[in-house]
Structure 1
Amino acid sequence: MKMVPAGESADSIPSRPHSFLKSLGPGLITGAADDDPSGIGTHSQIGAQFGYGLSWTFVLSFPLMVAIQEIAGKIGCVTGAGIARNLRRHYPRVVLWIMVSLLLIANVINLGADLSAMGAALALLTHGDSGLYTLLFGIVCVILEVGLSYPRYAAILKWTTLSLFTYVAVVAVAHVPWAHALRSLVVPELQFNAAYATAFVAILGTTISPYLFFWQAGQEIEEQHRHHVKPLCLTASTAGPELRRIRLDTLTGMAVSTVISLAIVFATAATLHASGVRDITTSSQAAEALRPIAGQFAFAMFALGIIGTGLLAVPVLAGSAAYAVTEMTGRAGSLDAKPLSAKLFYGTIAVTTLGGASLNNIGLDPARALYWAAVVNGVLAGPLMVMMMLIVRNPRAMGRLTVSRGQAVVGWCATAVMLAASMIFLGFTAWDVV
């Protein structure tokens, strides 16, 4: 009989493949949700416009993603409270209100773009009404989030991550020149122009997104409630295995995200860029452009992947908004709560999702929506990461489990890169306006 140390669940010991898979959860779902239809559109554009020239940036962004998402997970697991609740407890309220307000704006716009991409992808496959499909996808996502218990819904989200591997299938038929593609991961093909710099910042903006911070912290709290365990700050002496589980889960999730992002870039570089198709602004445009170049199979897989990743990402976007709003107001909120006992939480999910779906009906251009979502996220990401680093180094919040000096250095490096990227992006935005 296998003995489990006090304060540690058997699920947190990944000694066998089955145990490893069971240990995956918040980090895996967060990483998979990072490749949402909006991200697919961005990566498709990068592959079409620059070929393999920006592939190296995903190697750069991977450790930064791992560092900041692990910090988000630790905030939730150690303190038993999400990022917004920690901001409310330890820092000026004005900081909290500004950050949550920006998050809501960005998430609603992003939800609109993702739902619109899902509707357009289904219309490509069935030749139906994309506007109707967009609304139906929004309604379905709300029903699932509100109607299912957390354990069942978390299991659905985990299985939905398999939809990402449709892009591996696309790469398999795309005739990628692997020697060139793999060399591009370690040998940058630099270009010194505004378009290249903007694309570099766009990659960071789609891989390091504020809504993912709120979601992973909130999911770690949900897992604690599901397993009836206390926050790690109260059981610091036995916290080691759980912190290792968070690291492994986050590493796995971010690795999956990075591999799929590269698959999209490689597929579009080998097909669209190689055929002279350089102007792609949405994921559905990329799917449609693939059909005459890579064939019906690649087109269908790309379109189905948009729908599958959207079904994963939309709940994460809406859920992160719900966690932020309830924590900001000091209310209780959980995906495992009954709808009538968490009205604000589920109401935020419904309003943000359906509000995003309605953007399609007022004539908002999805590509333009993504642009402005990126602007808002660019304003929010750097300062939010600064506050997260302050939280994980604050003994009042983390108790004895403040992050080590080494982890802090990596976290601050990720924060500095994101702040610099945000300033570059906003600088180009201001230049375009002028």
Structure 2
Amino acid sequence: METQSTEPSATSLAPPRGRFDIFRTLGPGLITGAADDDPSGIATYSQVGAQFGYALGWTMLFSYPLMAVTQGISAGIGAVTGQGIACNLRRHYSPWLLRFAVLLLLVANIVNIGADLSAMGEALGLLTGTAHRLYALLFALACIALEIFVSYRRYVTVLKWLTLSLLSYVAVVLSVHVPWGAALYGALVPRMVFDGDHAMALVAVLGTTISPYLFFWQAGEEVEELHRQKRRRLGANPHAAGPELARIRTDTLFGMGFSNLVAMVIIIATAATLHANGITQIQTSSQAAEALRPVAGEFAFAIFAIGIIGTGMLAVPVLAGSAAYAVAEMFEWPEGLDRRPREAKAFYGVIAVATLGGLTLTFVGLDPIPALYWSAVVNGILAAPLMAIMMMIATNPRIMGHLTLPRWMALGGAVATVVMALASIGFFVLL
């Protein structure tokens, strides 16, 4: 975002002088990035590693700048306008466009929640040797309770600590033999075989890393941060925007980098174990964990399964929360995790309904494979048009004032939008 001045002011969110608290600086971007590695994402990365070995590791480096610039734009919209994506859609664009986007987002999120809860229940069931549906119910209730009854300040801290669960996959890699020469070659040297399997894998990776619910969540969380800090939106105080926009850039770049690094580690772990032992088809994250047991040992299996639970506890609230932000902004309801339950009953009601709706799919015998498939279809339909709308918002001086996108970021956003549009088209061609 361009600013008229980068000098700090009394309203700046820069860290206290003489101290740089990285854990305090990182927030919405870190949580958003970590939530992107949800159980359904873990299943995608596990399948890529199992099917292709190290050959598609480069897709993580390819998708990183696209993901970072897209999330940076959504965060900037929230911080500059003081409103979320859906609210800006309502104020500046056609009502039917808003309803279409929110409806697709709600459907995709509920299905994704159901698949994630199912994967979490199965993972705990693998560890305990008992049925998983009861565990899915307990996880759903725990996620709802945390979002509704824990104060925003404490809840954000909980989510930040949950991001550490992703380090379990680093432990898996360190516990198995990895031919690092081949792994690094796959990560750094792009190789693309032009057939249906490789093209579908690329589309799946892009659809997993760049998802609409992340746009709504990060924009909403930046608005929450303004409320928590009792600050004005940056558009109303552009002279003090420099430090805060710098904080957003650092947070987003780190969060998306952490997300893609963990995804790379998952690909390497499954390539070194499953692919190396002839296991090339993985359909769920829990299947990936179970398949690790005979080839990598009990420790790798247990750590992988624990990671599924930890990332699910992070991702399900983000999925439900992003749906609640969108629906509340569409109907102009009071919204925000910083509000008490009685102050935003409808907002918290959407969180509960979305989570329990996903849980219901698990109890009625949801097959996670077609569920994730159709969730990806809906996200693919929604992502590119929504990214184009975000670009229009972020480059519009009437909305953003003096804090419109700089040219380099506008170019990066345009490239990301075109890539996602081509990926969506490719998905339907392959379908």
Could you state the TM-score of these two structures normalised by the residue count of structure 2?
A: 0.97
User: Following the alignment from structure 1 to structure 2, what is the Cα–Cα distance between the partners of residues 239 and 426?
Assistant: 42
Which of 95, 102, 105 aligns to 1:103? It is 105
Shift of 1:12: 7.7
2:197 corresponds to 1:195: yes
Task: State the identity %.
Answer: 59
Partner in structure 2 of residue 422 of structure 1: 424
1:12 and 1:23 in contact (8 A); partners too? no
Deviations 1:61-96 (A, max 9, x none): 000011000001000000000000000010111110
Query: Is 1:5 the equivalent of 2:13?
Result: no
Within 1, Cα distance between the matches of 2:428 and 2:153? Answer: 40
Select 1:232's aligned residue among 227, 231, 234: 234
Residue 145 of structure 1 deviates from its aligned partner by 0.7
**2:47 is paired with a residue of what secondary structure?**
helix
Inter-partner Cα distance in structure 2 for 1:285 and 1:11:
44
Correspondence for 1:251 among 250, 253, 272? 253
Could you tell me how far 1:395 is from its partner in structure 2? 1.2
Kindly tell me: are residues 12 and 60 of structure 1, through their superposed partners in 2, closer, same or farther at Cα, counting changes over 3 Å?
farther
Distance 1:351 1:56 in 2: 38
Letter in 1 for 2:402: R
User: Partners of 1:10 and 1:416 in 2: how far apart?
Assistant: 34
Contact kept? 2:8, 2:240, Cα under 8 Å: no
Query: Which residue of 2 is the match for residue 112 of structure 1?
Result: 114
Q: How far is the alpha carbon of 1:185 from its aligned partner?
A: 1.6
Mapped to 1, the partners of 2:69 and 2:395 lie a distance apart of: 14
Shift of 1:323: 0.3
Q: Deviations over 1:129-160 (max 9, x none)?
A: 11111111111110111111100100000010
Cα distance in structure 2, aligned partners of 1:164 and 1:201: 23
Residues 218 and 323 in structure 1, CA contact (< 8 A), matched pair in contact too: yes
Alpha-carbon distance in 2 for matches of 1:9, 1:409: 28
Asked if the contact 1:201–1:421 (Cα under 8 Å) also holds between the matched residues in 2, the reply is: yes
Q: Is the 8 A contact 1:38 1:113 kept in 2?
A: yes
Shift of 1:165: 0.1
For 1:83 and 1:349, the matched residues in 2 are separated by 17
CA distance in 1, matches of 2:235, 2:310: 37
- Is residue 52 of structure 1 aligned with residue 80 of structure 2? no
Where does residue 83 of structure 1 map in the other structure?
Answer: 85
Cα–Cα, structure 1 residues 373 and 391, in superposed 2: closer, same or farther, change >3 Å? same
Q: Does 1:151 align with 2:116?
A: no
Given candidates 147, 154, 164, the residue that maps to 2:166 is 164
Shift of 1:237: 1.0
Question: Are the aligned partners of 1:12 and 1:242 in contact in 2 as well (CA < 8 Å)?
Answer: no
Q: What secondary structure, in the 3-state scheme, does the structure 1 residue paired with 2:274 have?
A: helix
How far does residue 10 in structure 1 lie from its aligned partner after superposition? 4.1
Give the paired residue count.
425
Give the match's secondary structure for 2:42. Answer: helix
Question: Aligned partners of 2:202 and 2:194: how far apart in 1?
Answer: 11
Q: Is the 8 A contact 1:163 1:309 kept in 2?
A: yes
Matching residue's letter, 2:79: C
**Aligned match of 1:270 in 263, 269, 272?**
272
Question: In structure 2, how many angstroms separate the alpha carbons of the residues matched to 1:404 and 1:324?
Answer: 27
State the shift of 1:333 in Å.
0.3
Q: Deviations over 1:356-410 (max 9, x none)?
A: 0110111120111000100000100000000000000111211110111111001
Q: Which residue matches 1:68?
A: 70
In the other structure, the counterpart of 1:285 is 287
Partners of 1:76 and 1:82 within 8 A in 2: yes
**2-structure distance, mates of 1:81, 1:254:** 22
Structure 1 residues 230-275: Cα deviation after superposition (integer angstroms, max 9, x where no partner): 0000000110110010000000000100110000000000000000
Shift of 1:326: 0.4
The separation in 2 between residues aligned to 1:9 and 1:101, in whole angstroms, is 35
* Structure 2 unmatched ranges of 5 or more: 1-6
Take 1:9 and 1:67, find their aligned partners in 2: how far apart are those partners? 21
Q: Are the aligned partners of 2:8 and 2:242 in contact in 1 as well (CA < 8 Å)?
A: no
Q: Which has the higher mean CA deviation after the structures are superposed, 403-412 or 111-120?
A: 403-412
**Shift in alpha-carbon separation, 1:236–1:12, aligned structure 2, 3 A:** farther
1:156 maps to amino acid: V
**Residue type matched to 1:402 in 2?**
T
Q: Is the 8 A contact 1:58 1:258 kept in 2?
A: yes
Pairing of 1:399-410 with structure 2 (within 5 A):
399-410=401-412
From the superposition, tell whether residues 348 and 380 of structure 1 become closer, same or farther in structure 2 (CA, over 3 Å).
same
Is 1:313 aligned to 2:305, yes or no? Answer: no
Q: CA deviation at 1:4?
A: 6.0
Q: Which position in structure 2 is the counterpart of 1:432? A: none
Q: Name the counterpart of 2:4.
A: none
Aligned CA-pair RMSD: 1.2
